[in-house]
Amino acid sequence: AQTVTQSQPEMSVQEAETVTLSCTYDTSESDYYLFWYKQPPSRQMILVIRQEAYKQQNATENRFSVNFQKAAKSFSLKISDSQLGDAAMYFCAYRKNTGNQFYFGTGTSLTVIP
């Protein structure tokens, strides 16, 4: 069964600093997708970044980047130059290559300190 684990319920970072959110997952599949979603207090989940498992290169989206370690089944999110607007709940998610079901982690609540 696929499981996604986020071991950090809460994290905080000083504005303009860098923070890394951890995510590990368990799967027997070789091809799959990984995502980070952000859920601000307004509640709508917004896609932050996506990684295809067959790609070795880590995905990057402006200040957001991932460290994808396939063998270790680790998918951490790095936020550089943190901004106040980055404060939110961050969810790591997994999806098999076949099928549409997302498996979410329990989330990490990120606080950005001015």
Partner 1 sequence: EPEVTQTPSHQVTQMGQEVILRCVPISNHLYFYWYRQILGQKVEFLVSFYNNEISEKSEIFDDQFSVERPDGSNFTLKIRSTKLEDSAMYFCASSGQGNQPQHFGDGTRLSIL
Query: Under the rule (CB under 8 A), what is the footprint of partner 1?
Result: 33, 35, 37, 42-47, 50, 91, 97, 99-107
| Residue 17 Cβ vs partner 1, minimum distance, rounded to whole Å | 27
- Closest to partner 1 by CB, 82 vs 89, is 89
Torsion of CA 84, 7, 19, 12, to 10 degrees: 40
Residue 50's DSSP bridge partners are 35
- Closest to partner 1 by CB, 87 vs 89, is 89
Q: How far apart are CA 89 and CA 9, in angstroms?
A: 9
CB distance 90 to 107 below 8 Å: yes
* CA triple 9-11-13, angle to 5 deg: 170
| Residue 42 Cβ vs partner 1, minimum distance, rounded to whole Å | 7
- Closest to partner 1 by CB, 85 vs 99, is 99
| Residue 92 Cβ vs partner 1, minimum distance, rounded to whole Å | 10
